[in-house]
Amino acid sequence: MDSDNIRKHNYEANSCVRKATKGKMISDSRENSSSRKKFKPNSKNEDGMPSKPSKLADVETDPTVLQRRQKQIDYGKNTVGYHNYIKDVPIDKRTKDDPKTPDKYSKYSRRSWDALIKIWRIKLHQYDPNTNVNCKDEPESDEESNAS
């Protein structure tokens, strides 16, 4: 019987300690959460010089990837819309919303790169010349509309 009482007493003592420890850990983590975030209003080192970024930008070095990307860029630059864009919008007048050729040397997944090219090509289509393309809403000719 004594051994059962001792086990029960030890179990109750351990459970109290655990609860107290968990409660203390939760309250401590809330108090220390603000101290973990270090705010640097001006990221300058001790010399007063601006600090360098901690992580350098990854650069694509695979020649097959660079060749594939250059081919897609050349394909986009060999369009009437691109030539109109260069002619109509000088470099100093270009805005954030204007088409910008993606940087082939930046590290992107293939899917991300394809999305960048797609967005760039869509923006280039804004500068395509207006052509007489038949729309579904417009009748193709007067003869067909009179015949019905």
**Percentage of residues in the chain having pLDDT higher than 90:** 47
Q: Which of 61-75, 89-103, 134-148 has the lowest mean pLDDT?
A: 134-148
- Domains of the chain, residue spans: 1-39, 55-148
Pick 13 or 67 by higher pLDDT. 67
Q: Which of 116, 101, 108 is nearest to 60 (CA)?
A: 108
CATH superfamily assigned to domain 55-148: Histone RNA hairpin-binding protein RNA-binding domain (1.10.8.1120)
The model's pLDDT over 41-68, given as tens digits with 9 standing for 90+, comes to 555 555 556 655 555 678 999 999 999 9
Q: What is the pTM of this model?
A: 0.52
Q: How far is CA 133 from the centre of its chain?
A: 36
